[in-house]
């Protein structure tokens, strides 16, 4: 039997700042002692309400200092924390909560109406303080393979699935990732990605284990993010590539002296273009740029940023396998490219009440990621594409990421996103949505000609649509489902 307490910041000097909450009119410092006391108060409150080990506790809120207190308090009580994507439509959110089997839900007032009947509601804004029961709490001992958390998949390929993560696996992941990332106690990392998403949960946990401070924004807004870097001495940026692009393009980007203090830029959840990596390197000259690859089900992160022989990480690499992570590449033309399968102590046990979906992904302790990766001669890995993102155009395999990267090398293109649309002759063809930089603007024909001249002709976008910005989903990634809807409304493939 084990306890989560020692692995999540309990041994850090209680006077150290754990978080700076930027949700209110003034920044709120939360020390490790504050976090411990409030987490224990949550655990005591849950027990007083009759929540038993193994029961689900839902969280429906944007980022706030008490989000991790509820998360940790739920773990201390031996219950299962189920953080929810609050950007889902209210009907879908309600259906997910009902399917989760949650006994109780912590919510912001705006989402209280989505909670199904029979689920007790604790409103962060109206009554949370009354729920808290302050005092010492002995963490409930749990089996290493007991379920600790149930985050959800994005739902981009169907209804969101509850991912069953274990206590032992998450303790292993938190400790392993701190070492792999070489986090320091004096780091101050900024977190604006939603805490219900695995990318933010990883950042939060590793910060707590390392004893560093997390600057917490309720949601991402480029100007506020830029100001927070300067106001709070941020040394580590976290987020997704789209957020970093918006930061670099914002007029309030901090001055050179402030940017020089940033030592790490950490991005995950989606690929970064060559142009973005170059712009980040110029803007933050003293920072290591880390491209994180991971899946909610798979550990969650399988690769670190340091080679055992000290070799420098190549541009675009997602890293080198972390010790304790087994891997294999299946179904590729060579042994060094194919779908990534992973096995490590953090791999999920499956999906809640979705045995058929679990059987497709979890096989003999291995998890099939659905992602195509390649490996170079030195052992570094690179993301190629989602298996289901690949389109077949006239018999040729076309990967949207490669077309996007090609278009973003054009000097007038700031961002590009590529989707597949049906075509009677070719089967599927690429269509691009492009955000332009200020200045002379190419037309659709010019960008098509550029793609044909600089890449394989079969992969050129058959249509190029110009947009002011690209839509984002709940994880701040480009929402390609929304782009497909936009395309179907405005045009038809040629």
CATH code of the domain covering residue 27: 3.40.50.12780
Question: pLDDT band at 6, cuts 50/70/90?
Answer: very low
* Alpha carbon distance 457, 430 (integer Å): 11
Which one-letter DSSP state was computed for residue 142? B
Q: Supply the pLDDT for residue 11.
A: 76
Q: Which CATH number do you get for residue 441?
A: 3.30.300.30
Widest pairwise Cα distance in the chain? 69
Lowest-pLDDT choice from 126-140, 350-364, 422-436: 422-436
Q: Does residue 377 share a domain with residue 395?
A: no
Across the chain, mean pLDDT equals 88
Are 186 and 308 part of one and the same domain? Answer: no
Domain boundary among 187, 219, 251: 219
Is 27 within a domain? yes
**pLDDT interval class at 7 (50, 70, 90):** very low
Q: Residue 44: pLDDT above 50?
A: yes
Q: Could you tell me which residue, 430 or 299, shows the higher pLDDT?
A: 430
Question: Does residue 231 belong to any structural domain of this protein?
Answer: no
Rounded average pLDDT over 119-147: 94
What b/e sequence results for 368-384 when a residue is b if at least 16 CB atoms lie within 10 Å of its CB, and e otherwise?
bbbbbbbbeeeebbbbb
CATH of the domain at 362: 2.30.38.10
Residue 280 in any domain: the answer is: no
- Domain extent, residue 328, equals 303-387
Q: Strand 104-107 and strand 120-123: pairing?
A: parallel
Tell whether 329 is covered by a domain.
Answer: yes
Contact in structure between 316 and 408 (CB atoms under 8 Å):
no
Q: What is the pLDDT of residue 405?
A: 86
Single out the residue of 239, 88, 59 nearest to residue 150, CA to CA: 59
Interval 194-253: pLDDT, tens: 888 887 888 888 888 888 999 999 989 999 999 999 999 999 998 888 889 889 999 999
Are 14 and 117 in a shared domain?
yes
Who has greater pLDDT, 88 or 68? Answer: 68
CB atoms within 10 A of CB 442: 18
Q: Based on the domain organization, do 60 and 90 belong to the same domain?
A: yes
Q: Do residues 360 and 428 both lie within one domain?
A: no
pLDDT, tens digit, 9 for 90 and up, residues 146-171 = 999 999 886 555 578 999 999 999 88
Q: Are 201 and 154 part of one and the same domain?
A: yes
Residue 8 has pLDDT above 50, yes or no: yes
All residues at 6 or more sequence positions from 8 whose CB lies less than 8 Å from its CB, including other chains: 72, 75, 174, 205, 208, 209
Mean pLDDT over residues 414-440, rounded? 87
3-state secondary structure of 160: coil
Q: Please tell me the predicted confidence (pLDDT) of residue 475.
A: 66
The pLDDT assigned to 155 comes to 57
What pLDDT does residue 10 have?
65
Same domain, 336 and 383: yes
Last residue of a domain, one of 334, 368, 387: 387
Res 160: pLDDT: 84
Same-domain status, 28 and 136: yes
d(CA 178, CA 53): 28
- pLDDT average, residue stretch 130-146: 94
Answer yes or no: do 313 and 166 share one domain: no
- Cβ neighbors of 36 (< 8 A, separation 6 or more) are 9, 10, 14
2 falls in which pLDDT band (50, 70, 90)?
Answer: low
Q: How far is CA 127 from CA 37, 63, 121, 124, 130, in A?
A: 18, 18, 10, 7, 5
> pLDDT at residue 273 above 80?
no
Q: Decide if pLDDT at 292 tops 90.
A: no
pLDDT bin (cut points 50, 70, 90) of residue 257 is very high
Q: Are residues 322 and 411 in the same domain?
A: no
The answer to whether residue 375 scores a pLDDT higher than 60 is: yes
- Regarding whether 474 and 383 lie in a shared domain, the answer is no
The whole-model pTM stands at: 0.82
Q: What is the pLDDT of residue 333?
A: 84
Percentage of the chain with pLDDT > 70?
94
**Over residues 62-77, mean pLDDT:** 94
The pLDDT of residue 237? 94
Average pLDDT over residues 359-386: 91
Confidence bin at 493 (pLDDT 50/70/90): very low
Q: What DSSP character marks residue 362?
A: E
Of these ranges, 168-172, 312-316, 342-346, 397-401, the one predicted with the greatest mean pLDDT is: 342-346
Q: Where among 219, 252, 273 does a domain terminate?
A: 219
Q: Let me know if residue 377 belongs to a domain.
A: yes
Query: Does residue 486 sit within a domain?
Result: yes
pLDDT tier, 32 (very low <50, low <70, confident <90, very high otherwise): very high
Residue 458 lies in a domain: yes
* Total of domains in the chain: 3
Indicate whether 255 belongs to any domain.
no
Indicate if the pLDDT at residue 78 is higher than 70.
yes
Has residue 492 got a pLDDT over 60? no
Same domain assignment for residues 108 and 12 = yes
Residue 246 in 3-state DSSP? Answer: helix
Most confident of 111-125, 285-299, 307-321: 111-125
Residue 1: predicted pLDDT: 53
């Amino acid at each position: 039997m084990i306890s989560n307490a020692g692995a999540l910041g309990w041994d850090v000097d209680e006077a150290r700042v754990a978080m700076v909450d930027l949700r209110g009119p003034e920044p709120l410092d939360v020390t490790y002692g504050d976090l411990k006391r409030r987490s224990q108060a949550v655990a005591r409150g849950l027990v007083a309400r009759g929540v038993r080990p193994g029961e689900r506790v839902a969280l429906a809120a944007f980022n706030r200092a008490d989000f991790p207190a509820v998360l940790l308090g739920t773990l201390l009580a031996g219950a299962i924390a189920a953080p929810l994507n609050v950007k889902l439509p209210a009907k879908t959110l309600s259906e997910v909560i009902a399917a989760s089997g949650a006994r109780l839900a912590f919510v912001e007032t705006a989402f209280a109406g989505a909670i199904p009947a029979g689920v007790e509601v604790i409103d962060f804004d109206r009554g949370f303080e009354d729920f808290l029961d302050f005092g010492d709490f002995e963490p409930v001992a749990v089996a290493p393979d007991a379920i600790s958390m149930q985050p959800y998949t994005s739902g981009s390929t169907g209804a969101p699935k509850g991912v069953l993560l274990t206590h032992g696996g998450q303790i292993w992941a938190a400790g392993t990732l701190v070492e792999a990332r070489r986090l320091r106690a004096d780091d101050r990392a900024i977190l604006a990605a939603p805490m219900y998403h695995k990318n933010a949960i990883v950042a939060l946990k590793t910060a707590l284990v390392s004893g560093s401070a997390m600057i917490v924004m309720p949601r991402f807004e480029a100007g506020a993010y830029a100001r927070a870097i300067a106001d709070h001495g941020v040394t580590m940026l976290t987020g997704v590539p789209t957020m970093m692009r918006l930061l670099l393009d914002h007029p309030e980007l901090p001055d050179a002296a402030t940017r020089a203090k940033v030592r790490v830029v950490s991005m995950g959840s989606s690929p970064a273009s060559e142009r973005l990596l170059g712009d980040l390197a110029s803007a933050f000259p003293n920072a290591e740029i880390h491209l994180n690859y991971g899946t909610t089900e798979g550990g969650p992160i399988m690769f670190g940023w340091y080679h055992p022989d000290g070799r420098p990480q190549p541009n675009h690499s997602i890293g080198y396998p972390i010790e304790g992570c087994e891997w294999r590449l299946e179904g590729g033309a060579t042994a060094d490219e194919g779908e990534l399968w992973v096995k490590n102590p953090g791999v999920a046990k499956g999906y809640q009440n979705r045995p058929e979906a679990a059987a497709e992904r979890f096989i003999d302790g291995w998890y099939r990621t659905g992602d195509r990766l390649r490996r170079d001669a030195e052992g570094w890995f690179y993301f190629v594409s989602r298996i289901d993102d690949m389109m077949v155009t006239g018999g040729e395999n076309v990967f949207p990421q490669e077309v996007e990267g090609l278009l973003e090398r054009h000097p007038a293109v700031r961002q590009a996103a590529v989707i597949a649309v049906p075509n009677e002759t070719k089967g599927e063809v690429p269509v691009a949505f492009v955000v332009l930089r200020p200045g002379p603007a190419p037309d659709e024909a010019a960008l098509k000609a550029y793609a044909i001249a600089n890449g394989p002709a079969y992969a050129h976008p058959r249509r190029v649509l110009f947009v002011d910005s690209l839509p984002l989903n709940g994880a701040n990634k480009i929402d390609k489902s929304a782009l497909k809807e936009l395309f179907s409304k405005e045009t038809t493939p040629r």
